[in-house]
Amino acid sequence: MNQTIIPSEQQLIEFQQKLQKDSDWILEQIDLLSLLSKYGEVKIVGAKALGLMVAKDIDISVVVPKIDLVIWQEIVSQLMVTKHVRKVTAVDEYNYDENNVYDLEKGKKYSLYIEMDSVLGPDQDKNNLWEIQIHLITKDKFDERITKNLISKLNYTNRLTILRLKWWANKINRNLLFESNGHFKIQSIWIYEAVMHQNTTNIRTFIQFLQNKISNEDRHFLSIIQTTD
């Protein structure tokens, strides 16, 4: 069994704080919030909003009055010539269905998605770049209550438990994503659910939680998880 060494409580806190600071630097350098605010109400969500960062990624929702392909294209075109941004990916998660078939009636009707997965951070580390995920989403699809509810229940103990599990999962996900060709990884939402609703306090009890959470189709990935704790 390969044991993953988890940083100390203080190291996890300091690492999270550094990621917050660096992510602020990135948003300022590319003036992203100002750009996006021209098109809708900008909401920083995910780990940055929760104060639970362990990876170089930023999640943003832009709440728009309606889904507009022209606006989506405008944002992408501006980001493609923005300093520090090396790659921009655009995915239509609104008009395409679960089988990636274009269907105006049966599409996912969720969002127009933009990803920047090669953003240079303040450390100038070209081998460890930042990712930024942006969803253009309508108000009826955006539920801020989930984030606010989770924040209200966070305390020092469960926050550290989540940081510890997320740090561990981030390491394992490298193997999982490779073995699954990008299909499967341990999701942060699973960690939040396990800690906040199932009183999970460590890696072993979280693995037990996953045994009931993971679908039958993906259960064979449990062997990778169980041999790396």
Asked whether residue 15 is assigned to any structural domain, the reply reads: yes
Residue 143 and residue 111 in contact, taking contact as beta carbons nearer than 8 Å? no
Token pair of 162, please?
């989540």
Asked whether residue 47 is assigned to any structural domain, the reply reads: yes
d(C-alpha 33, C-alpha 55), whole Å: 20
Strands (E), 1-56: 41-45
What's the pLDDT score for residue 1? 47
d(C-alpha 75, C-alpha 6), whole Å: 39
Question: What range defines the domain where residue 158 resides?
Answer: 154-226
Asked whether residue 50 is assigned to any structural domain, the reply reads: yes
Q: How many CB atoms lie within 10 A of CB 206?
A: 25
Whether 93 and 197 map to the same domain: the answer is: no
Written as tens digits, the pLDDT of the chain (229 aa) is: 455 678 999 999 999 999 999 999 999 999 999 999 999 999 999 999 999 999 999 999 999 999 889 999 999 999 999 888 889 999 988 877 777 777 666 656 778 899 998 898 999 888 889 999 999 999 988 988 888 999 999 999 999 999 999 999 999 998 888 888 888 999 999 999 999 999 999 999 999 999 989 888 888 888 888 876 5
Token pair of 143, please?
């539920």
Q: How many CB atoms lie within 10 A of CB 69?
A: 12
Residue 46 and residue 11 in contact, taking contact as beta carbons nearer than 8 Å? no
Asked whether residue 146 is assigned to any structural domain, the reply reads: no
Whether 162 and 122 map to the same domain: the answer is: no
Whether 137 and 168 map to the same domain: the answer is: no
What's the pLDDT score for residue 4? 67
Whether 175 and 81 map to the same domain: the answer is: no
Whether 37 and 134 map to the same domain: the answer is: yes
Three-class secondary structure of residue 33 per DSSP: helix
Q: How many domains does the chain have?
A: 2
What's the pLDDT score for residue 23? 98
Whether 116 and 92 map to the same domain: the answer is: yes
Whether 104 and 159 map to the same domain: the answer is: no
Residue 84 and residue 30 in contact, taking contact as beta carbons nearer than 8 Å? yes
